[in-house]
Chain A
Amino acid sequence: MRLPGPRRRRLACLVVALVVLLALLMASMMIGSTAIAPSVVWDALFHPTADIDHFAIRDYRMPRTIVGLVVGMALGVAGALIQALTRNPLADPGILGVQAGASFAVTVAVGVLGVRDISGYLWFALAGALIVTLMVLTLGSTRRGSSPVVMVLAGVCVGAVLGGVREVLQATNPDAFDAMRSWNAGSIVGRSLDLVWPILPFFAVALVLAFAVSGPLNAMALGDDLAVTQGVRVTRTRVLAIIALTLFVGGATAIAGPIGFVGLMVPHVARWIAGQHQRWIFAYSLLLAPILLLASDILGRIVMRPSEIPVGIVTAFVGAPVLIAMVLRKKASGL
């Protein structure tokens, strides 16, 4: 059976994206402060010995690569969700105040409660993200139900307030600022897999929810009224999408800190390739976002050898001009 043209093209592009992602996963193991041959990487993964390069791959590069993969996937789908939800092409996962909530909770944990390592403030980040999302949901609810515009406004306001308080806390406690500097910049250095395992179930739930609401979100792209006539329960869809978004962003931020641009840029690229169908956009975002994140991380590892640039800074440097170039060339993808 031959697949229809657009569908075949989408699938073919998806396979290409998958191949690129697999190549980047390998590159992330090989390229770093020192280059390690593919055969050594292979042996380290499948025939490990006490060789020092094997340790470097198994203990640092592999966990770092997996963290980049998981965080990238989460941010990518979160970006696609928030843009579909708000019907705003400039929306990113931070716009509902989720990242600000996570950052604020971590600042309190570090500055007030004296928590010093990431495994200690992981849950604070997730809780902060959830609490702020609930606040924004409440503030964004009008008498006629939830409104994307009011929700975004509420998110921006709450984010700004929390950001300000966070700055004050950090200014009065420089030690705390030092301790969370790397987390604040958005980095995947030194994150062990122990940080990822507890978050994975949340991501799994979020992914299921995202794909479950992809159909209703397609209908809602035409307007709430039209969606209602098609039997879509708008408020329920919105709440489920926000829960998924919070789990993705809260979890990713808990592990790596606030990483911008991935969730903003990737869904645009996904839409250019896949069109307006949310399920395809989510699928592409799932692959393209870790490609961007891992490529940025590799770049950050080699441009300032022997030091590194946090991936959150590289994604901004790489993502901004790329996005501008694509927007100028293709025009902004409609929503």
Chain B
Amino acid sequence: MTMTPLRRRGAALAALLSAALVLSACGGSGDDPNPAGPMRTVKAGNGSVDVPADPQRVVTIGNTTLPFIDMGGAPVGVTEVTASELALIPEKQKATFKAATNVGSSGDQVDMEKLAGLKPDVILAQLPDSEFAQIEKQLKSIAPTLFWGLDTEWKTLAGGLAEAANVTAGLSAQKAEFDKKITKIKETYRKVIDETSFVNVDRWESSDPGTFSIADFGCVEIAQDDIGMNFPKAADGQDPLGWKFLPFEQIAGLSKYDVITYPVDAEGKPKQAFAPVVETNTWKALPAVNSGRALGLFCAGNNSYGPVLQYLDSLDRALATLPAKK
């Protein structure tokens, strides 16, 4: 195939740019600030990976950012998180997030050149498998990369992140507090937990108009799995109940549950997306709502211990106000 001069010039330029990018990418691993430091082997979703024993320059991609910061980590590079997620974290953590370099809007939009320029010791990523598959090679050429799929249980993710980035001290303190709170709730509300049927409802910004969901993921999983509260959940192998958008007329079907839990913001007001539900006449006519057995719960997230501890506090306060069943 013959090339025109213009094409040849273009091809040469492209080759030069590619070489520059590869060299700069290689610089991340080859010119590591602590290349000869001690190494450890840690396990992640993508297998066993050798990482520096005490990494100083951690880049977090996708869902690993906020959990890592929550455990006391300070990443040098991050991908963006939504404004609503950012609004829920403490000011100190917000400052840590803002101090990091933004390497892209999401896992599939990472600026590799920028990432390589940060010379990371380790890269932590949680994003859809298909997105990771596309960037895995490039990430690994920059620094040791640990990946967890979206189906990874949150405690496993927190443990893996802490070990990989050497922030286990922060994690241990959070875990101890978590265990203490769980034990307290179980002991204090044992009878209620055993004898009450709960249902957790929600709405999201993306929900169709006039619809709500019976949410069986998010913080409610902690109430179900760690505390043993009786919430409806999808059968094994089925899609989560929370994926189904139910029309408002089905709010009446919530009558069969003893207690309804619904999402509120930090001030205790119904979450903005959920507000249309509590404004409906059907909601107001529900026996649980009439008898004060609809509990607003604050869930800042369920991907790490900090927000989960806030949820447990909210649940504790709400259960304390629950009137006895008539």
Contacts and interface: CB of A to CB of B under 8 A. Distances in A.
A33 B205 contact: no
A178 B209 contact: no
Interface residues of B, number: 22
A225 interface: no
Contact of A52 (B244, B245, B247, B285): B285
Given A178-B206, A179-B205, A190-B210, A308 B282 contact: no
A60 B210 contact: yes
Nearest to A183: B209
Interface in B22-48: none
Interface in A130-185: 175, 178-179, 181-183
A58 B282 CA distance: 10
A311 B166 CA distance: 53
B250 A33 contact: yes
Contact of B246 (A33, A50, A52): A33
B281 A306 contact: no
B282 to A, nearest CB: 4
Given A34-B253, A55-B281, A190-B211, A181 B247 contact: no
Most chain B beta-carbon neighbours within 10 Å: one of A32, A50, A116, A307: A307
Contacts, number: 79
A10 interface: no
A307 B244 contact: yes
Nearest to B282: A55
A179 B252 contact: no
A243 B285 CA distance: 45
A61 B249 contact: yes
Contacts of B249: 32-34, 56, 59-61
Contacts of B286: 52
B282 A307 contact: no
B285 A189 contact: no
B210 A34 contact: no
A292 interface: no
A98 interface: no
Chain A, interface size category, equals 20 to 34
Contacts of B252: 34, 52-53, 55-56
Contact of A33 (B209, B253, B281): B253
Contact of B280 (A59, A61, A116, A175): A59
Contacts of A43: none
Contacts of B251: 56
A109 B205 CA distance: 16
A181 B249 CA distance: 20
B174 interface: no
B282 A189 contact: no
A114 to B, nearest CB: 12
Interface in B178-227: 205-206, 208-211
B250 A118 contact: no
A187 B251 CA distance: 19
A33 to B, nearest CB: 5
Interface in B274-314: 280-282, 285-286
B244 A117 contact: no
A189 B210 contact: yes
18 contacts: A34-B249, A34-B250, A52-B286, A55-B280, A56-B252, A60-B249, A117-B209, A118-B209, A175-B205, A179-B206, A182-B208, A190-B208, A190-B211, A191-B210, A301-B247, A307-B245, A308-B245, A308-B247
Given A55-B280, A55-B285, A175-B205, 10 more contacts: A32-B247, A34-B250, A51-B285, A52-B252, A59-B280, A59-B281, A189-B208, A189-B209, A190-B209, A190-B210
Interface of B: 205-206, 208-211, 244-253, 255, 280-282, 285-286
Nearest 8 interchain pairs by C-beta: A190-B210, A190-B209, A182-B208, A178-B206, A60-B249, A55-B281, A56-B249, A55-B282
